Amino acid sequence: MRKSLLALAAGLLLAGSVSAASAADKLKVGFVYLGPIGDLGWTYQHDLGRQALVKELGDKIETTYLENVPEGPDSERAIEQLVRAGNKLIFTTSFGYMDPTLKVAKKYPNVHFEHATGYKRNPNMSTYSAKWYQGRYIQGLIAAKMSKSGVLGYIGSFPIPEVVSGINATILAAQTINPNIKVKIIWANTWFDPGKEADAAKALIDQGADVIMQHTDSPAAMQIASERGKLAFGQDSEMIQFGPKAQLTSIINSWGPYYIERVKAELAGTWKSEDTWGGLDSRMFAMAPYTNMPDDVKKMAEDAQAAITAGKLHPFKCPIVGQDGKPVECKGGGHLDDGQILSMNFYVKGIDDKLPGK
Amino acid sequence: MELVEAIILAVLAASTPLLIAATGELVAERSGVLNLGVEGMMIVGAACGFAGAWLTGSILIGALFGIVAGTLMSLVFALMALGLAVNQVATGLALTILGVGLSGLIGAGFVGERITPAVPLAIPGLTNVPLIGRVLFGENGFVYFSIALIVAVWWFLYRTRAGLILRACGDNHVSAHALGYPVLRIRTLAVMFGGACAGLAGAYLPLAYTPFFIPGMTAGRGWIALALVVFSSWRPARLVIGAYLFGAVTILQLHAQGWGVGIPSQFMSALPYLATVIVLVLLSRARTGGSTAPAALGTVFVPDR
């Protein structure tokens, strides 16, 4: 934080030294990051998006980012600081910035805001996120094929809908291959703590899981799976260097195209508040190459990916049966609708565990 | 049986960095200095430790890099808090902020690189003994060193004259000064020892625990080490209990979740903190009550010349 503030201060000094006219010509775009840009996960991917943006529109815009900004009320100051520094479009890239972003947005109606993974909007505040459950479904298919013990290990961060829908999509897919598949779930209650994520992966493997999946941010679980000769899926980023013989695939977030599109709209004066939920079809994320699996499994994964991309396969196809044995109401015509997925707070049948807080 | 062994191994692995960092801080605090910069010294130790091991291919040199880095960080603290008599709490907090930024800078070039982690001991015939073999004879060097370290610190503090003088500085620096002991020099050495330990504890993370470097990878362990010192009421034996208890509950709650015990995971995650507080409170109640904190802890000392 301190480092980035210094960078910001230095940036302001620089901006002050160039002629006022050229500084005024360029659109200023700000980013607020949760972690360090070197986290090789969530924040890293957002910064790759920012870099793609600079590459594409660098002559028309100027970007600033603040890294290591904690979620919650504290982030309000960071966001406001970007406003005061003259940024006209500000991306706040974590769920916990939702209320602070909204608060600042209401205070500065002439500045446009984009909040990742939240659900609160304003005439000058958009939201954007990705349908990661689609990738999780493909991972579930692969996991069920590759698991010898029939036990999958899943490291969760927090029991929020995004994570819960990922677990459900995984198990629904796995059940189509092996109806008796089991999943062991450990909540780390943190997004980022490499040591704890490694401990969780060890516990899952020691309890018999042979395919590890994670919804936390560091490559620790991948590294443990690799060390123990098990298989694993990466998260947010390419993690194959931490498990050359372990990584099956990884969900790789790709924010660049979206950032470019939104900044172009801002430059053209056509920006308006929207809710974007992109999937495989809109390339909001991509699947890393399918590795460490036989060709037939790879083909199955590629076929599933193609079917989901084409809209022929929906991971939450009805009927969906909840843990209580009752079918879930089908609001989306043949599958659950977006609202149901975005607010998912139940486990599907076949998960032995209890959802925390239920 | 295998599972029990796996759990004990995981507990030792999780507890070791806490034990090492807390041992160093205990010595510093016993001399009367409250250094809240443990987290900052640890993370710089992690970055430099990884850099050292990656550049030379040697875990031992990596560990030495971590120790030196932690010591240098503690010298910054000593210069401010002891040399210039700046408020210790503020200096310590600043040291943590500095360390987090500095480690990101040092480690930036190493993110995504891998090293071969510390190799566990292997003694044919002994390491293979079921249940206790790997626990006693199959750990990496850091684990054995951490135990030797805390025993040595206990012996130093309670069985040597130098240890007695160090404790005297922590309890009443004016008297120690009047008796002719160089309070500031003793405190500087104690702070440096604390820095060396924090640096080593930080280096343990990328060298033995998760063999890669990522900014922020200490994830608050320095603060837990600080808390353990307070909870141990500044006694080495209780520090060992606290560190292993904390590690044990951390690992067991993960296993309990895997088994599907129907307790909310949020509560389970809070359990290590709760358990450690409760046990150490009970321990201090059982003996003679009252505060055991070094009487001069955190107070500035300016010798009159």
| B-interface mutation test, from A48, A199, A323, most B Cβ less than 10 A away | A199
Nearest to B21 by CA among B207, B218, B296: B218
Strand partners, A321: A327
Instruction: Tokens 């040591």: give the residue.
Output: A195
Give the whole-angstrom CA distance, residue A156 versus residue B269: 13
pLDDT reported for residue B135: 84
User: Residue A354's closest chain B neighbor by CA?
Assistant: B262
pLDDT digits (tens, 9 = 90+) for A90-110: 999 998 899 999 999 999 999
In this structure, is the dihedral angle defined by the CA atoms of residues B152, B155, B157 and B159, taken in order, positive or negative? negative
Cβ contact, residue pair B210, A187, below 8 Å = no
Give the whole-angstrom CA distance, residue A138 versus residue A118: 24
Q: For residue B23, is pLDDT > 90?
A: yes
Instruction: Tokens 């090789």: give the residue.
Output: A40
How far is residue B167 from each of residues B139, B170, B255, B297, measured CA to CA in Å?
Answer: 33, 5, 41, 11
Give the whole-angstrom CA distance, residue A155 versus residue A119: 25
Percent of all residues in chain B with a pLDDT value above 90, rounded to a whole number: 67
Given A187, A190, A199, which is nearest B10 (Cβ)? A199
Give the whole-angstrom CA distance, residue A273 versus residue B101: 36
- The pairs formed by A219-225 with CB atoms below 8 angstroms and a separation of 24 or more are A219/A40, A219/A41, A219/A194, A219/A243, A219/B212, A219/B214, A220/A194, A220/A195, A220/B210, A221/A155, A221/A197, A222/A246, A222/A247, A223/A198, A223/B114, A223/B210, A223/B211, A223/B212, A224/A198, A224/B210, A225/A201
Cβ contact, residue pair B264, A356, below 8 Å = yes
Cβ contact, residue pair B108, A204, below 8 Å = no
- What are the backbone dihedrals phi and psi of residue A258, each rounded to the nearest 5 degrees, phi first? -65, -45
Q: Which residue has the higher pLDDT, B305 or B65?
A: B65
CA of A191 to nearest chain B CA: how many angstroms apart?
11
CB A34 within 8 A of CB A46: no
Structure token pair of residue B144: 């054995």
pTM of the model: 0.88
CB A281 within 8 A of CB A305: no
CB A125 within 8 A of CB A113: yes
Give the whole-angstrom CA distance, residue A334 versus residue A312: 11
Given A2, A199, A220, which is nearest B14 (Cβ)? A199
Contacts of B6 in chain A (CB under 8 A): 202, 206
pLDDT reported for residue B290: 55
Q: Which residue has the higher pLDDT, B141 or B129?
A: B141
Give the whole-angstrom CA distance, residue A79 versus residue A71: 11
Strand ranges across the sheet with A285-287: A182-187, A151-156, A211-214, A231-234, A247-253, A285-287
pLDDT digits (tens, 9 = 90+) for A225-249: 999 999 999 998 999 999 999 999 9
Mean pLDDT over residues B231-257, rounded?
A: 91
Given A193, A207, A220, which is nearest B258 (Cβ)? A207
Which residues in B have their CB inside 8 Å of a CB on A?
2-3, 6-7, 10, 13-14, 17, 97-98, 100-101, 104-105, 107-108, 111-112, 114, 205, 209-212, 214-217, 219-221, 250-251, 254-255, 257-260, 262, 264-266, 268-269
In this structure, is the dihedral angle defined by the CA atoms of residues A292, A295, A296 and A299, taken in order, positive or negative? positive
Element (H, E) at A260: helix A256-268
pLDDT reported for residue A38: 81
Confidence of residue A311 (pLDDT cuts 50, 70, 90): very high
Confidence of residue A297 (pLDDT cuts 50, 70, 90): very high
Structure token pair of residue B280: 């150490």
Cα A229-A230-A236 angle, rounded to 5 deg: 120
Cβ contact, residue pair A192, B216, below 8 Å = yes
Q: For residue B245, is pLDDT > 80?
A: yes
Name the residue ranges covered by the structural domains of chain B.
2-219
Q: For residue A279, is pLDDT > 50?
A: yes
Q: For residue A22, is pLDDT > 50?
A: no
Give the whole-angstrom CA distance, residue A246 versus residue B88: 47
Contacts of B258 in chain A (CB under 8 A): 153, 184-186, 203-204, 207
CB A214 within 8 A of CB A235: yes
Confidence of residue A358 (pLDDT cuts 50, 70, 90): low
pLDDT digits (tens, 9 = 90+) for A195-207: 999 999 999 999 9
| B-interface mutation test, from A1, A191, A196, most B Cβ less than 10 A away | A196
Mean pLDDT over residues A204-222, rounded?
A: 94
Structure token pair of residue A230: 């098990």
Cβ contact, residue pair B3, A207, below 8 Å = yes
pLDDT digits (tens, 9 = 90+) for B175-230: 999 999 999 999 999 999 999 999 999 999 999 999 999 988 999 999 999 999 98
CB B104 within 8 A of CB A3: yes
Contacts of A187 in chain B (CB under 8 A): 257, 265-266, 268-269
pLDDT reported for residue A24: 56
CA of B286 to nearest chain A CA: how many angstroms apart?
33
How far is residue B89 from each of residues A276, B86, B191, B225, B300, measured CA to CA in Å?
Answer: 46, 9, 14, 16, 11
Cβ contact, residue pair A189, B266, below 8 Å = yes
Element (H, E) at A186: strand A182-187
Given A3, A199, A356, which is nearest B101 (Cβ)? A3
Mean pLDDT over residues B157-164, rounded?
A: 96
- What are the backbone dihedrals phi and psi of residue B192, each rounded to the nearest 5 degrees, phi first? -65, -40
Given B100, B107, B210, which is nearest A198 (Cβ)? B210
Instruction: Tokens 């993690």: give the residue.
Output: A239
Mean pLDDT over residues B128-142, rounded?
A: 85
Give the whole-angstrom CA distance, residue A181 versus residue A204: 15
Nearest to A285 by CA among A323, A242, A238, A328: A238
Q: What spatial distance separates the first Cα and last Cα of chain A, rounded to whole Å?
A: 37
Cβ contact, residue pair B209, A35, below 8 Å = no
User: Residue B218's closest chain A neighbor by CA?
Assistant: A193
Cβ contact, residue pair B250, A199, below 8 Å = yes
CB B19 within 8 A of CB B181: no
Length of chain B in terms of residues written: 305
Lowest-pLDDT range of A212-216, B63-67, B281-285? B281-285
Cβ contact, residue pair B211, A187, below 8 Å = no
Q: A223 in contact with B at a CB cutoff of 8 Å?
A: yes
Give the whole-angstrom CA distance, residue A232 versus residue A210: 8
In this structure, is the dihedral angle defined by the CA atoms of residues B107, B110, B114 and B115, taken in order, positive or negative? negative
Cβ contact, residue pair A195, B6, below 8 Å = no
- What are the backbone dihedrals phi and psi of residue A154, each rounded to the nearest 5 degrees, phi first? -130, 120
**DSSP string computed for A34-93:** SS-TTSSSHHHHHHHHHHHHHHHHTTTEEEEEE-S--SSTHHHHHHHHHHHTT-SEEEE-
Cβ contact, residue pair A187, B257, below 8 Å = yes
Give the whole-angstrom CA distance, residue B142 versus residue B18: 12
Q: What is the DSSP letter of A126?
A: E
Coil, helix or strand at residue A127:
strand
Cβ contact, residue pair B114, A198, below 8 Å = no
Q: For residue B84, is pLDDT > 70?
A: yes
Contacts of A39 in chain B (CB under 8 A): 214-216
Percent of all residues in chain A with a pLDDT value above 90, rounded to a whole number: 75
Q: Helix H segments across chain B?
A: 2-30, 38-56, 59-77, 88-107, 133-137, 141-159, 161-171, 173-178, 183-204, 221-231, 236-259, 265-286
Given B6, B100, B266, which is nearest A356 (Cβ)? B266
In this structure, is the dihedral angle defined by the CA atoms of residues A141, A142, A146 and A147, taken in order, positive or negative? negative
Strand ranges across the sheet with A89-92: A61-66, A27-32, A89-92, A112-116, A125-130, A275-278
Cβ contact, residue pair B265, A192, below 8 Å = no
Q: For residue A88, is pLDDT > 60?
A: yes
pLDDT reported for residue A12: 40
Lowest-pLDDT range of A49-58, A307-316, B32-41, B282-291? B282-291
Nearest to A152 by CA among A205, A98, A81: A205
CB A251 within 8 A of CB A44: no
Cβ contact, residue pair A189, B265, below 8 Å = yes
Element (H, E) at A22: helix A20-25
CB B120 within 8 A of CB B206: no
Q: A228 in contact with B at a CB cutoff of 8 Å?
A: no
Mean pLDDT over residues B165-170, rounded?
A: 95
Give the whole-angstrom CA distance, residue A103 versus residue A92: 13
Element (H, E) at A263: helix A256-268
CB B92 within 8 A of CB B34: yes
Cβ contact, residue pair B215, A354, below 8 Å = no
Q: For residue A8, is pLDDT > 60?
A: no
Cβ contact, residue pair A206, B250, below 8 Å = no
Cβ contact, residue pair A194, B209, below 8 Å = yes
